[in-house]
């Protein structure tokens, strides 16, 4: 028996209480993007060794990224992958 007040509806439920399912899915997508962007920023700090220097690097045009700033590429998975690739090359002394 389900305790009173905890019965589940047969209707579609939102993963975020109080939000419509479509709005909640959109919010969760943005949260995932934020986490992916934060992971790249953390990696930059790890590779570069200093948060201030890493933030400066993220805002500086990079030749290997066709002179785009790394921070400008973090909004899409392909851009994040490109930035992570460059960070790996920096870490291993290839760039």
| Residue 56 lies inside a defined structural domain of this protein | yes
**pLDDT at site 93:** 92
* Domains of the chain: total: 1
**pLDDT at site 91:** 96
| Residue 11 lies inside a defined structural domain of this protein | no
Q: Residue 54 in 3-state DSSP?
A: helix
Residue 6 clears pLDDT 50, i.e. is over it: no
More confidently predicted of 16 and 41 = 41
**pLDDT at site 34:** 87
**pLDDT at site 3:** 46
CB 60 within 8 A of CB 81: no
* Residue 53 to residue 24: CA distance in whole angstroms: 36
* Residue 59 to residue 71: CA distance in whole angstroms: 6
| Residue 17 lies inside a defined structural domain of this protein | no
The CA-to-CA distance between both ends of the chain, in Å, stands at: 63
Residue 57 clears pLDDT 60, i.e. is over it: yes
Residue position matching structure tokens 């890493």:
54
| Residue 13 lies inside a defined structural domain of this protein | no
**pLDDT at site 65:** 98
**pLDDT at site 26:** 56
Q: Could you list the residue range(s) of the whole structural domain that residue 43 is in?
A: 22-91
| Residue 2 lies inside a defined structural domain of this protein | no
Residues 6 or more apart whose CB falls under 8 angstroms from that of 43 comprise 84, 87
């Amino acid at each position: 028996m389900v305790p009173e007040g905890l019965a589940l509806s047969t209707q579609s439920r939102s993963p975020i209480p109080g939000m419509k399912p479509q709005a909640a899915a959109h919010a969760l997508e943005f949260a995932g993007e934020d986490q992916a962007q934060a992971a790249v920023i953390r990696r930059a700090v790890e590779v570069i060794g200093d948060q201030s220097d890493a933030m400066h690097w993220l805002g500086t045009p990079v030749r290997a990224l066709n002179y785009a700033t790394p921070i400008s590429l973090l909004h899409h998975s392909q851009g994040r992958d490109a930035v992570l690739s460059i960070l790996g090359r920096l870490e291993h002394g290839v760039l």
